[in-house]
Structure 1
């Protein structure tokens, strides 16, 4: 580099005053890395200016300035380098709600929506030049697009009580749907798939560790303050003489279900053609997450490893898997029936005897109550008519205080039986294409990855019936990460020149 600059005359200061000025600045900024009087002044002046502004206008303006200093470069990086943007979104989806618990009622979700919108703009700019939408020309992408269009048309639902409820609901919904198309565009090789899986498992391990801290050491003061903020929240989290753990996620439901399907993913990957150290790590991580799942006290999560093992046996039809399923059933039968004073074990046992559970009976009564409404409203009551947005924008509506307690029931109530039919078609298409791709794959690594994604999607689909399992970060995002990986695996299997993992 130095020789090039000398030959070009820059280092010698040749040329007019502008050339000499730029060469001097280049030397002080790049060569000397600001380690000179000019650099000291350039760094000191903004620092003093920011300190003065904060002293005059308060701490809040300092936070805004810091956010701009950090946020602007990240925003431009996400816009022009989609892989970085996707990684950033995934990381934020894990920590955002935990941060919100610490800083109070701040609309941090808008940050996610803004970043996704920026990335969509970046994709559109690329497509103006490339004009190649082939990445979205497949059955899964088409049915997802149909689902998106249906939800956008819900803005004109004549049965909806509030248009604003639709606006607030479709905002986050559209962002998650958009992430799928960003994923299928940005993932260009098998190496990209493995990178996303590493980020996924790594972040889940961090969440698991914090759940262990809460179990064995206790909650931090701001976490306990959040628990005690309302009687309803305290009653939900303190059960059977102990607190349910939630790590840095929104609630124990997200924590438990996330650990359940990610542990399944680890176990499946451990059967693949990877090195022995990686297999040991995956098995250990899976067991670590499985124990952490018990701390959540989420009954719906306890069912998933068993159901996942059964689904795995059906897909693989391996003798050793069938034997393992038999022994697992024996162990589960013992655990589910042996008397125990451990509250985590008691909740685990209740998961396999739901008819005796009071909350299960309440769910059944609620579903029986709402069934006539679903039959007579093919378009439903409108997006956002149930739950938080319903209470805020249409508190007079009977739907506002209805607890769906199920992702499928929420879809049927808000989007009608027609919406539930389209969503069911989406799931059918995903599993039909996914299983077909899994059977066609020749690459052993991609085959085991596809199998893992099928188990993740099966677990989430199953969990979405007794709970709203796919509605919150990071699960809602990982759901579409799994779909994108499942959809793309066969593409890379047919193009070995792209494989560099």
Structure 2
């Protein structure tokens, strides 16, 4: 008890001290250099958060997620490129240190060296390390950057296993996630209503690559406070799926006032999804819900939601709406044969197949697309845009690596569905089937886009995988 009180007092005193120092320092430097004041203010806040993260790794886990989502905002405000990856690594290592040195004992029967999913993960990790010696790769620097990001995701997965020790922690995670996603959706709707803020426009204008992906037909795609419209759209689709699944709960489990809140979340998230202009995310929504509908056709609320969703989809696809760019782009996601950019992607995929057949271990990591031009200039794959997570895996890691990726994703879906059928509690079943639906949606989205490789989506996916593994061993009830 004394130890906890001491930690709490230490955190309070540090906060007070840091803010006392920060206020006059930032005020003085703001008069000299606005950009420097932003950096200093961010450093003070970051130091305070880092202290909290090191003292309380569970709270630090959520701080890390929030930082990963909003870290690009100060970068845009400063109108310069910042080492955002380094900041994320530092905070994650602080969370890891807190988890290692905490006095709390972990009670778990997870078979870390026998579990099939984890064994595939270990095998895939070893394959990533072997890629360092891939003779087709020109640069070692690209591999170092790739493996750093991979280790970050690897650590986050195991931290999730540590943080989610019971259903109360899982409830807390889903509440936190839906609040964070709704906040992002509201900010995205605000961007659509009043336009991008001046510092956001300036940052996009000074970055040609960002300009090409954000501005489409003279209109900006909305990205909220996330990295880009693609990441924003994918997460809005995932969050909307979870909310729709929870909406089918009985009134005894979720009361009408709470369902109104869920409806509000769904509306703003679907609006934000539409404004993101991410066609892959448009497809994710029905794909994820189809899995949910198939296993819950016996539920009356599920049939009602399925009917409303189907009617809305048909109205958007075939209704007399021709003036909205958002609706037009939504239709092209389901009528790809009429869209030249989608047809061009299929042509590119067929043209690169001989390379895949002749390179079983691939061309090496960070050799495809813009990454290839940066780290492996002159490589056969440099500049080639895969537009697919699976195609990138096949090109960079070969068909051997693609098999490992497919096995890993399959096992994740298998665990989630198996957990659903083992559980008896209604709320638990809804959360578990929502996890399975989101995983399935991301799995399908990987065909058209690198949906699982985006920073924000990879964090969410690894969190769901960690929860799924934890539930399999500690929380599911066999019938």
State the TM bucket, normalised to the shorter chain. 0.7 to 0.9
Does the 8 Å CA contact 2:361/2:399 hold for their aligned counterparts?
A: yes
2: CA distance between counterparts of 1:198 and 1:48? 33
SS in 2 for 1:308: helix
Per the TM alignment, residue 364 of structure 1 is displaced from its structure 2 partner at its CA by 0.7
Structure of higher CA gyration radius: 1
Using structure 1 for the length normalisation, give the TM-score: 0.82
1:377-436, CA deviations, whole angstroms, 9 ceiling, x for partnerless residues?
A: 111111111234322222111212111111111111111111110011001111112111
SS in 2 for 1:136: coil
Using structure 2 for the length normalisation, give the TM-score: 0.86
- Which runs of structure 2 are paired with 1:329-478 in the superposition (5 Å)? 329-339=310-320, 340-478=322-460
Q: What is the aligned partner in structure 2 of residue 282 from structure 1? A: 262
Q: Give the direction of change, closer, same or farther, for the CA distance of 1:162–1:346 in structure 2 (3 Å limit).
A: same
Per the TM alignment, residue 190 of structure 1 is displaced from its structure 2 partner at its CA by 1.1
Q: Give the direction of change, closer, same or farther, for the CA distance of 1:411–1:98 in structure 2 (3 Å limit).
A: farther
Q: What is the aligned partner in structure 2 of residue 5 from structure 1? A: none
Moved more, 457-466 or 316-325: 316-325
Q: Give the direction of change, closer, same or farther, for the CA distance of 1:432–1:495 in structure 2 (3 Å limit).
A: closer
Q: What is the aligned partner in structure 2 of residue 102 from structure 1? A: 77
2: CA distance between counterparts of 1:470 and 1:495? 30
Does the 8 Å CA contact 1:135/1:185 hold for their aligned counterparts?
A: no
Does the 8 Å CA contact 1:245/1:295 hold for their aligned counterparts?
A: yes
Moved more, 169-178 or 60-69: 60-69
Per the TM alignment, residue 323 of structure 1 is displaced from its structure 2 partner at its CA by 6.3
SS in 1 for 2:74: helix
Moved more, 64-73 or 95-104: 64-73
Does the 8 Å CA contact 1:161/1:381 hold for their aligned counterparts?
A: no
Gaps of 5+ in 2: 1-5
Moved more, 276-285 or 261-270: 276-285
Q: Give the direction of change, closer, same or farther, for the CA distance of 1:170–1:323 in structure 2 (3 Å limit).
A: same
Q: What is the aligned partner in structure 2 of residue 77 from structure 1? A: 52
Match of 2:296 among 316, 330, 345: 316
Does the 8 Å CA contact 1:168/1:389 hold for their aligned counterparts?
A: no
Per the TM alignment, residue 58 of structure 1 is displaced from its structure 2 partner at its CA by 7.5
Per the TM alignment, residue 153 of structure 1 is displaced from its structure 2 partner at its CA by 2.1
Per the TM alignment, residue 285 of structure 1 is displaced from its structure 2 partner at its CA by 0.5
Does the 8 Å CA contact 1:240/1:343 hold for their aligned counterparts?
A: no
Q: What is the aligned partner in structure 1 of residue 277 from structure 2? A: 297
Does the 8 Å CA contact 2:241/2:288 hold for their aligned counterparts?
A: yes
Q: How many residues get paired?
A: 460
Does the 8 Å CA contact 1:407/1:467 hold for their aligned counterparts?
A: yes
Match of 1:261 among 226, 238, 245: 238
Does the 8 Å CA contact 1:450/1:485 hold for their aligned counterparts?
A: no
Match of 1:86 among 30, 47, 61: 61
Per the TM alignment, residue 365 of structure 1 is displaced from its structure 2 partner at its CA by 1.5
1: CA distance between counterparts of 2:39 and 2:182? 31
SS in 1 for 2:451: coil
Per the TM alignment, residue 349 of structure 1 is displaced from its structure 2 partner at its CA by 1.3
Does the 8 Å CA contact 1:247/1:255 hold for their aligned counterparts?
A: yes
Q: What is the aligned partner in structure 2 of residue 15 from structure 1? A: none
